[in-house]
Structure 1
Amino acid sequence: MVAVNGNTPKITLYTNHGCPYAHRAHITIKELGLPYEEVIIHLSKPRDPWYLDINPIITESIIVSQFLADAYPSHLLPPTGSEESALKRARIKFFTDTWNTKVGSYWFKIATQNSEEEKEKLAKEMVSVVEKEIDPLLKDAAPFFGGSSKLTLAKAITAPFIIRIIAFVKRAVLPKSIADGLNGLPNFSKWAAGVVKQDSVTYIWDEDRIVEQSVKKFAQVKAQAKA
């Protein structure tokens, strides 16, 4: 969550660098070039009373990112006020909604399966959904969404998950067939490859630590499912 005080941006971001949802806000703030303070929240232990007493300006990662992009106009999101801008904003919203509702949860489902057969089945489904629902929306990426030469809110919302999928496949946490399938999609593969090259995406990214923490989380979920 984020708190903003006064007319001059003074942003406090309550975050955890291992959380893909919080990662969205980090990308947005970095792209906007806004100064901010961060308070690290430890997700593995109960929230302290002081945290529960905070009255933030806004919570939820997508809403935080949208708010910041609207409050500080930039290349991330066209300003309101014209039909052309409204159409571009709608396309970005459609893209992020499609990713979140149809693709976004696959990686976690796959990683928490005990059966390799079930992992491969879900991996195949995931690639098929990306091919059908996402790849066509990226046909005009140049190299970013909608023909933009700069990163847009579409990537700020989805990049934390794309970079994790790439890392988890590389570390054999997810099946290699995911990479094989996604690399065969002409639009998505080119667009996704740009994720790992953006400073705004990678500046808080610690692959070793995040993979290690995620593997522990996946193991806990699988153990709970067996109990």
Structure 2
Amino acid sequence: MSKLTLISHHLCPYVQRAAIALLEKGVAFERINIDLANKPDWFLKISPLGKVPLLRIEEADGSEAVLFESSVICEYLEETQAGAALHPADPLTRARHRGWMEFGSSVLSDLWGYETAQDAVQLETKRQALISKFTTIEGALTDGPYFAGSSFSLVDAVFAPVFRYFDLFDTLSDSGIFDGLERVKRWRTALSQRASVKDAVGADYPQRLMEFLEKHSSILLRQSAAA
């Protein structure tokens, strides 16, 4: 049996994708969190991009390999680990799912701009971008509870960390981003109740995210204080 170690960061949504996939597969793994503001030398030696997640695979014969990029890690786990399938068997449907995973990464790009916005104009620009993205995916969803209906997939693993941000953001203000998007809202609720999604972050995640907003002087906090 291989020993798997997930090199992680407490907040990183890309790490959460890999953690969710590991938990869904029921695979034993160790998790090591690092400080991305002070990356250890051993990490820089094995991370070509200097980013998390990394999956370190140690074989019984003493050999070792390191995978980087969350999508690569998730695909590897799907191909090598037993447990429920997280990708559709049909090649065309599987390709479509991969496309929606990439779409999820584009949502995260807008979300970064939203949470780090320091003025109202930038915040509104990113809010509108997020509304547009979620409106697009509303049209791709069925009656759920998950992206592909009753089966949990890697697309769900990608979007669960996206929705998690809003669990905190919703306590600061009403963004209106999900207004009228009933399928998206049902999907968000279903993902939040999934055990793998809950366990993909530590109990201190909300506190750490709040500290992140404070560090970046997010207007989300200033708006909340002024309300």
Tell me which interval the TM-score lies in, with the shorter structure as reference length.
Answer: 0.7 to 0.9
Amino acid at match of 1:171: T
Q: Among residues 34, 44, 47, which one is paired with 1:41 in the alignment? A: 34
Residue 198 (structure 1) aligns with: 194
Distance across 1 between alignment mates of 2:9 and 2:87: 25
SS of structure 1 residue aligned to 2:66: coil
| Deviation readout 1:46-85 (Å, 9 max, x if unpaired) | x222233347431011211121112225331134xxxxx1
Partner of 2:85: 75
3-state SS of the aligned residue for 1:194? Answer: helix
* Alignment match of 1:219 (pick from 197, 213, 217): 217
Structure 1 alignment gaps of length 5 or more: 1-7, 80-84, 221-227
What TM-score do the two structures reach when normalised by structure 2?
0.78
Q: For 1:160, what is the secondary structure of its paired residue?
A: helix
Matches of 2:80 and 2:143, distance apart in 1: 25
What is the Cα deviation at residue 142 of structure 1? 2.4
- Which residue of structure 1 lines up, in the alignment, with residue 138 of structure 2? 135
* Aligned equivalent of 1:170: 170
Q: Aligned with 2:6: secondary structure?
A: strand
Distance 1:135 1:111, change over 3 A: same
Separation in structure 1 between the aligned mates of residue 178 and residue 78 of structure 2, nearest angstrom: 29
CA shift at 1:217, angstroms?
A: 4.2
Q: Distance in 2 between matches of 1:96 and 1:141?
A: 19
Q: Is the 8 A contact 1:163 1:195 kept in 2?
A: no
Q: CA deviation at 1:218?
A: 2.3
Q: Could you tell me how far 1:141 is from its partner in structure 2?
A: 4.4
Larger CA deviation: 10-19 vs 69-78 = 69-78
- Kept in 1: contact 2:5–2:32 (CA 8 A): yes
Percent identity, aligned pairs only, is 25
Map residues 72-221 of structure 1 onto 2, 5 A cutoff.
Answer: 72-73=81-82, 74-79=84-89, 85-101=90-106, 103-131=107-135, 133-138=136-141, 140-147=142-149, 149-164=150-165, 166-172=166-172, 176-177=174-175, 180-203=176-199, 204-205=201-202, 206-219=204-217
The change in CA–CA distance for 1:66 and 1:169 in structure 2 (over 3 A counts) is same
Question: Which one of the candidate residues 52, 56, 59 is aligned to 2:44?
Answer: 52
Distance 1:9 1:78, change over 3 A: farther
Separation of aligned partners in 1, 2:73 and 2:153: 15
Q: Any runs of at least 4 consecutive aligned residues in structure 1 with deviations exceeding 4 A, and if so which? A: none
Q: Write out per-residue CA displacement over residues 195-225 of structure 1, whole angstroms, 9 at most, x where no aligned residue.
A: 21111111124343232232144239xxxxx
Residues 124-150 of structure 1, C-alpha deviations (whole Å, 9 max, x = no match): 33212321x211111x24211222x23
CA contact (8 A) 2:9 2:35 kept: yes
Unpaired runs of at least 5, structure 2: 47-63, 219-227
Number of equivalenced pairs: 198
Aligned residue in 2 for 1:224: none
Distance change >3 Å, CA 12–CA 181, structure 1 → 2: closer
